[in-house]
Structure 1
């Protein structure tokens, strides 16, 4: 019996990541996320490893190249933002209040940093990205649908409109040198959210954008 069980036990030990390996991976992703926000996706790997408190060899064991690390960071940001959407849906009774809470929480997750990373040279159709993107889009649509049904959200906006504005309003202008940019983010988001509320004061030009619209345009660019 002991002999028969040994191969299975060895197999389980091989496929199950060690706790310290998981911690290192999480630290690398967290450090990369911070540094991508601060310096852009081309920040040197050794700087990321230094901030994560690991060696370069450890970083490369987890992520063979920059594209793999960027993809993991993008998925991590979208997953964390999705969790904020789930909390807003579960805990807020007011429909527009839930949407407002999500937008401000998403800004804290630095989702605006996704745009320059998504324009990089890596597989934008990877299954992990598709799954994270679909989850986020579905949750944001739920938030918007609730507010729309309650008559609190204007009817001529879609998920893509919200995410574009959120991305643009949560990252400083290139070369602006605005070191205190964060103090304006939530103020400007509040102005934007006021413009989303129904009844609308004007008719928007063009058509509402979905995340799929944005992805197709990005792929063609």
Structure 2
């Protein structure tokens, strides 16, 4: 949970019980957004979190505020997983693999629509969380290149686009039906990132700047 999620308003800090309620709401919202999309009724989220509607609205006055905090929570969790893989896994490509699987388990593909449709991408908290995630992911990829295991003609954008697309539920399918294939398909993709490379890629590597100037279209989950 981010520092922003801990504080209710600037200069205040939530009591332990209020913080637990807030975390339950964010967790329930994350699951509801994955399963039903960002327009799921907030009353259902409150029910799933085990709190009253008044409690939800006390923490999050509107849908955009709740989505903002869910996105921050997911970005922080994925960053933590990338940082843990970097420090805990001894081999570079194994660390990258663990991160890719962990990020998919956070269902980033299903949550991506909120990034472009429902939040302010220039909000300071979002910018800081995105920078942390970019740095952690880049460190893993740089390690893979220096070890000689990651092919040199791929970049940050290639990894993130593939992760987003392969971890996203197919249109008209539910998450439970598709999730059992995600790790399998990600492993096929990861095999294509290893050296020695077995093919020549067309075009140029997708960089972070490419993603920022030409964002990948995001469909609603």
**Residue 170 of structure 2 is aligned to residue 173 of structure 1:** yes
Contact 2:67 2:118 in 1 (8 A): no
Cα offsets for 1:73-100 (capped at 9, x unmatched): 1111110011111111111111101101
Specify the alignment match of 1:116 in structure 2. Answer: 113
Specify the alignment match of 1:151 in structure 2. Answer: 148
Shift in CA distance, 23/143, structure 1 to aligned 2, threshold 3 Å: same
Specify the alignment match of 1:26 in structure 2. Answer: 23
Shift of residue 176, structure 1, vs aligned partner:
3.4
Pairing of 1:179-218 with structure 2 (within 5 A): 179-218=176-215
For normalisation by structure 2, the TM-score amounts to 0.88
Specify the alignment match of 1:88 in structure 2. Answer: 85
For normalisation by structure 1, the TM-score amounts to 0.88
Shift of residue 116, structure 1, vs aligned partner:
1.1
Higher relative contact order by CA 8 Å / sep ≥ 6: 1 or 2? 2
Q: Distance in 1 between matches of 2:76 and 2:202?
A: 32
Q: Distance in 2 between matches of 1:120 and 1:40?
A: 12
Q: Distance in 2 between matches of 1:140 and 1:220?
A: 21
Contact 2:38 2:114 in 1 (8 A): yes
Shift of residue 112, structure 1, vs aligned partner:
1.2
SS at 1:181 equivalent: helix
Q: Distance in 1 between matches of 2:139 and 2:182?
A: 24
Consecutive aligned runs of 4 or more in structure 1 exceeding 6 Å deviation: none
Contact 2:74 2:106 in 1 (8 A): yes
- Count the aligned residue pairs: 208
Shift in CA distance, 30/82, structure 1 to aligned 2, threshold 3 Å: same
For structure 2, the 5+ residue unaligned runs are: 1-10
Q: Distance in 1 between matches of 2:26 and 2:38?
A: 12
For structure 1, the 5+ residue unaligned runs are: 1-13
**Residue 75 of structure 2 is aligned to residue 72 of structure 1:** no
Q: Distance in 1 between matches of 2:97 and 2:158?
A: 15
Specify the alignment match of 1:38 in structure 2. Answer: 35
